[in-house]
Structures are given as C-alpha cells and as structure tokens.
Amino acid sequence: MSRWQLVSFFGESAFLLPCAVFLYAWLRWHGANAVARHWLIAFSLTACLVLVSKLAFMGWGIGSAALNFTGFSGHAMMAASILPVFACLAVPSRYRTLSLLAAVAGVLLALAVGMSRLALHAHSMSEVVSGLALGFCVSLPFIMRHEVPHGPVAMLLASGVLATVLVLPVSGVAGVTHIWVQGIATFLSGRDRPYERGEWAWQADCRVCQINVAARPACATRHCAC
C-alpha cells in the first residue's frame, strides 16, 4: 500500500459516516440539541449533494467535460467536514487557541486527503477542490460556534478506533460506497453500466446526430455541439 492510499483512507465514507453519526448522537446526549440539529442538516444536505452529483454522471452522463467534472469528491468532502471537527473537539474548551490549532491540523489532513485523490488519479482538480469547499462549509462554521461542547475523551476514543481500523486489512471495505452508488445509478437510469470518465451524455447525442444527419440535417444544431 502506498502512502497516498493510506492517506486516502482518512476520507473513506465507510469509516467517516459512523463518525458523523457518533458526533450527532454525542451532541444530543450532552443536551446540545440545537447544535446537533444544525450539524445533521448541514452534513446531510452536503452529503446528498455529493451523492446527487455522482448519480447524475454515472446514470445519465451529466457533468462538465471542460472542467473534467464527474461529481464532487466524496473523500474530500467527508474529510473536510469531519476531521477538523473531531480534532477541534478533542481539545478541552478552556484551551481555545490549542483547540483551533488542532482544527487547523484537521484541515491540513483533509487537504492531504484531497491531494491523495489527485495523486491516485481518482479525481480531477475540479472535483477535489469543490469537494473540499463543500466539506469546509460544514466544519468551519461548526468549529467557530462557542456553544459546542468539547469531549476530549470521547473524541480521542473515536479517533483511536478510526486509527485502529485504518491499519487493519480493510482493502475489501475501501471503495464499497462507490460500488453502491454505481449500482443505484444503473438501477435508476436503466443502463447496463455506469458512465465512466470521458463519456458524456452530449457525446451520445452527437453520435445519434451523425447517424441521422442525412435524414435530419438540423439535428446537430438542435441537440449537440458537434
């Protein structure tokens, strides 16, 4: 396993989604109901936006060829939304400066996850940058709230469990959410296989136009850019 693959595991949804659920439950348990509700809404909406962007491309070829965009990077979004929060809450609230420094460390780790997706050629620059931006829109406003309870023991235990899982043989778990999304996309769109990078819906329209251009010369103008 390369170092970039190891770094990329820190953005794996199979690991971080349970962390997000744990954080929500922990906030509710500590009576921070309003904070928990805001976290749930922000994180859920962002995660749904990532899912919809992936389904749109895999199922219907909707994306941007110019930006090489096939959907927001889920790894980047998950890492940017959760890792800074866990790092920040792992420091007692009375050490505000140290807590913010820990959050910065979480931000840097999230950026490293984004770089790993580029190094592994799993995503384009536009997908990574947009995924990180979405994630930071969830985590940074949360960190700046003063009424958020800090739980050093709980956060460190959760982080320890995550770190332990990362060093175990988890190759079968990595990427499982991507396979699920592919299955959902093909089911909803009725395709035999999902669209892959470099395949776009407008290209399919162009091929139809080229076949029927003799019979319908206006087709190319009406449906595609060929």
Looking at the fold, whether 17 and 112 belong to one and the same domain comes out as: yes
Mean pLDDT value of segment 23-38: 91
Looking at the fold, whether 189 and 106 belong to one and the same domain comes out as: yes
b/e map 28-43, b = 16+ CB within 10 Å: eeeebeebbebbbebb
Query: What DSSP character marks residue 71?
Result: S
Contact present, 186 and 58 (Cβ < 8 Å): yes
pTM (whole model) above 0.85: no
Looking at the fold, whether 210 and 117 belong to one and the same domain comes out as: no
Give the residue numbers spanning the domain of 202: 198-226
Per residue in 179-193, pLDDT (tens digit) is 889 999 999 999 999
Per residue in 60-91, pLDDT (tens digit) is 999 999 999 999 999 999 999 999 998 999 88
State the Cα–Cα distance between residues 79 and 152, nearest whole angstrom.
19
The contacts of residue 95 (CB under 8 Å, 6+ apart) are none
Assign 211 to helix, strand or coil: helix
* Nearest partner of 75 among 147, 143, 130, 36, judged by Cα: 130
Our count of domains for the chain comes to 2
State the Cα–Cα distance between residues 129 and 9, nearest whole angstrom.
18
Per residue in 144-186, pLDDT (tens digit) is 988 888 887 777 777 776 666 666 555 455 567 788 899 999 9
Q: What percent of the chain has pLDDT over 90?
A: 51
Looking at the fold, whether 191 and 204 belong to one and the same domain comes out as: no
Contact present, 89 and 150 (Cβ < 8 Å): yes
